[in-house]
Amino acid sequence: MAVIIENNTLKPEQIEKIKNICKSHGNNENNLINILHETQSTFGYLPKEVQEVIAEELNIPVGRVFGVVTFYSFFTMVPKGEHPISICLGTACYVRGAEKILEEFKKELGLEVGQTTKDGKFSLSCLRCIGACGLAPVVMIGEKVYGRVTPASVKDIIAEYK
């Protein structure tokens, strides 16, 4: 779950946390991706302020950190919802009707892909294959995987989290 960063400034203990993550990877710029993974799992997302601290610790330009964060789909600069919903749009899920599932989630939550509900509860994104093609179409909410999802079952799935 996303940690709130107030007034776009990090608290001293938050800065300390980031520094420790960098240090545990030897402040080595080659480990940038592993560092970003760990930081994102701590803060829930990677806002500009966090990237600046990492850049300083690794002694590299912020632009380089930003370049990496925006290149990879796994990293996000906006906080995700309390229950991030990811619809698998891999080929196996696609041919088994994943698009209809996505439409249903959009309709039920009133969200477009990449958005978060106003109450911060749900966010909607797509991903490409989690390798559970036997259960297609598949939806992931947080760490939990829902298989053989039908448009009719979408409502019930969302209700579990309300």
Residues in contact with another protein by the rule CB under 8 A: 28-34, 36-37, 67-68, 71-75, 89-92, 94-96, 127-136, 138, 143-147
Nearer to another protein, 11 or 144 (CB): 144
**Residues 27-46: b if buried by 16+ CB within 10 A, e if exposed:** eebebbeebbbbbbeebbbb
Tell the smallest beta-carbon distance from residue 88 to another protein (Å): 8
Pick 37 or 120: Cβ nearer another protein: 37
Q: Within a 13 Å sphere around the CA of 29, how many CA atoms are in the beta-carbon half?
A: 12
Q: How far is the CB of 91 from another protein (least distance, A)?
A: 4
Q: State the minimum distance, in angstroms, from the CB of residue 105 to another protein.
A: 16
DSSP 3-state assignment of 97? coil
Closest distance of CB 8 from another protein, Å:
25
Which residues are paired to 85 by β-bridges?
A: 124, 141
Nearer to another protein, 15 or 127 (CB): 127
Q: Rounded CA gap, 38 and 23, in Å?
A: 12
DSSP strand pairing (83-88 vs 122-127)? parallel
Nearer to another protein, 113 or 120 (CB): 113
CA distance 85 to 135: 17
CB nearer to another protein: pick between 20 and 30:
30
Q: How far is the CB of 28 from another protein (least distance, A)?
A: 8
74-98 as b/e: b if 16+ CB within 10 A: ebbeebbbbbbbbbbbbebbeebeb
